[in-house]
Chain A
Amino acid sequence: MTYILVLEQILNGLQFGIMLFLMAAGLTLVFGVMGLINLAHGSLYMVGAFAAAAVAGWTGSFLLALIASLAAAAAAGALMELVVIRRLYRRDHLDQVLATFALILIFSEGTRWLFGSFPLFLDVPSYLSGPVTLPGGIEYPLYRLAIILTGLAIAAGLFLLIARTRIGIQIRAGEADREMIAALGVDISKLYTLVFALGAALAGLAGALVGAIQSVQVGMGEPVLILAFVVIVIGGIGSIKGALAGALLVGMTDTLGGVFLPRLFTLFMEPASAASAGASLASMLIYILMAGVLLVRPSGLYGGSA
Chain B
Amino acid sequence: MKTIRMLAMAAAVPALAAAAQADTKIGMITTLSGGGAGLGVDVRDGFMLAIEQDGRDGVEVVIEDDQRKPDAAVQIADRMIQSEKVDILTGIIWSNLAMAVVPAVTAQGVFYLSPNAGPSALAGKRCHPNYFNVAWQNDNLHEAAGAYANDAGLKNSFILAPNYPAGKDALTGYKRMYEGELSGEIYTKLGQTDYAAEIAQIRASGADSVYFFLPGGMGISFLKQYAGSGVDLPVVGPAFSFDQGILQAVGDAALGVKNTSQWNKDIDNPANAAFVAAFQEKYGRLPSLYASQGFDTANLILSALDKAEPADQDAFRAALKAAEFDSVRGDFRFGDNHHPVQDIYVREVIKEGDVFTNKIIATGLTDHADAYAGECKM
**Which residues from chain A contact B225 at a C-beta distance below 8 Å?**
141, 213-214
* Closest-CB distance, A45 to chain B (whole angstroms): 12
Instruction: Give A151 to B229 CA distance when docked, in angstroms.
Output: 20
Instruction: Give A112 to B224 CA distance when docked, in angstroms.
Output: 22
**Which residues from chain A contact B221 at a C-beta distance below 8 Å?**
213-215
Q: Is the CB of A223 within 8 A of B191?
A: yes
Q: Is the CB of B163 within 8 A of A141?
A: no
In the complex, per-residue mask of A267-293: 1 if CB is within 8 Å of any chain B CB, else 0: 000011001100110110000000000
B22-54 contacts to A (CB < 8 Å): 32-35, 37-38, 41
Name the contact of B194 in the complex, choosing from A9, A212, A214, A259 (C-beta under 8 A): A214
Interface of B, secondary structure class, is helix
Q: How many residues of A contact B (CB 8 A)?
A: 50
Q: Is the CB of A220 within 8 A of B35?
A: yes
Q: Is B228 interfacial (CB 8 A cutoff)?
A: yes
**Which residues from chain B contact A143 at a C-beta distance below 8 Å?**
228
Q: Is B17 interfacial (CB 8 A cutoff)?
A: no
Name the contact of A15 in the complex, choosing from B37, B196, B218, B220 (C-beta under 8 A): B196
Q: Is the CB of A108 within 8 A of B34?
A: yes
Q: Is the CB of B163 within 8 A of A5?
A: no
**Which residues from chain A contact B228 at a C-beta distance below 8 Å?**
124, 129-131, 141-144, 213
Q: Is the CB of A220 within 8 A of B37?
A: no
Q: Is A58 interfacial (CB 8 A cutoff)?
A: no
Q: Is the CB of B246 within 8 A of A119?
A: yes
Q: Is B6 interfacial (CB 8 A cutoff)?
A: no
Name the contact of A213 in the complex, choosing from B168, B186, B191, B224 (C-beta under 8 A): B224
Q: Is the CB of A214 within 8 A of B248?
A: no
**Which residues from chain A contact B201 at a C-beta distance below 8 Å?**
5, 259
Q: Is the CB of B200 within 8 A of A259?
A: yes
Q: Is the CB of A131 within 8 A of B33?
A: no
**Which residues from chain B contact A139 at a C-beta distance below 8 Å?**
203, 229-230
Interface of A, secondary structure class, is helix
Which single residue of chain B is at the shortest CB-CB distance from A214? B221
Known: A262-B186, A272-B185, A276-B187. A215 touches B193 (CB 8 A): yes
* Closest-CB distance, A128 to chain B (whole angstroms): 9
**Which residues from chain A contact B362 at a C-beta distance below 8 Å?**
none
Q: Is B16 interfacial (CB 8 A cutoff)?
A: no
Q: Is A298 interfacial (CB 8 A cutoff)?
A: no
Which single residue of chain A is at the shortest CB-CB distance from B168? A276
* Closest-CB distance, A9 to chain B (whole angstroms): 6
Known: A130-B228, A213-B228, A255-B196. A220 touches B186 (CB 8 A): no
Q: B: which residues have CB within 8 A of A?
A: 32-35, 37-38, 41, 163, 168, 185-189, 191, 193-194, 196-197, 200-201, 203-204, 216-218, 220-221, 224-225, 228-230, 245-246, 248-252
A-B contact pairs, 26 of them (CB 8 A): A5-B201, A112-B37, A117-B32, A117-B37, A118-B245, A118-B248, A119-B246, A119-B249, A120-B249, A123-B251, A123-B252, A130-B228, A141-B225, A214-B221, A215-B193, A215-B220, A217-B35, A217-B217, A218-B35, A219-B35, A220-B35, A220-B217, A258-B189, A258-B197, A271-B185, A279-B186
Nearest 9 interchain pairs by C-beta: A131-B230, A219-B35, A215-B220, A215-B217, A119-B249, A12-B196, A214-B221, A279-B187, A117-B37
